[in-house]
A and B are shown apart, each in its own frame.
Chain A
């Protein structure tokens, strides 16, 4: 199974400042079809998770452009260019190259 890890596990940010979360996979997420199956989700307090980023760097519908994803192979990053109050919650990376597996989550607060 593919194991996902994230750092940091907790992140205190300042409004208007950038933030960055790292995600690593135990094996490459690059598929033979040329796509890389890495996703980011945000779970706001008391809510179900929702999709932010798909295939490393594509923003899902309605996701603000202050969110960006990058990376390749086994190393990936989610960046928030300027943190807003509504960005607090737990961020998860996930892979579906082989079944589905999530990282442990990164709790972001202000």
Chain B
């Protein structure tokens, strides 16, 4: 089915380990985003990508690494996990045009179902 999928849905790991969260979208959207959601902070942008091989930092990038070699995939890696990175992670995608081609520049971001990550 078309859409945006995240994996895994749940992950428990230990401090110091490397963990990668996957995000895949089938719309060929140009933009992809990674957010973390924590109580009292809403959603905070970690990294985003405007196209394949183009990435940039968001509000809270420290401790995270991203890559985007293909338009449809945008993995997020925690190189050495810390307890403060326990959170719910959402991937999102968007594009400048609606599929009908009629609307420019006002498409909402479409979110995946999230990954709940616990670091012990």
Pairing of A with B: no
Chain A residues close to B by CB (< 8 Å): none
Chain B residues close to A by CB (< 8 Å): none
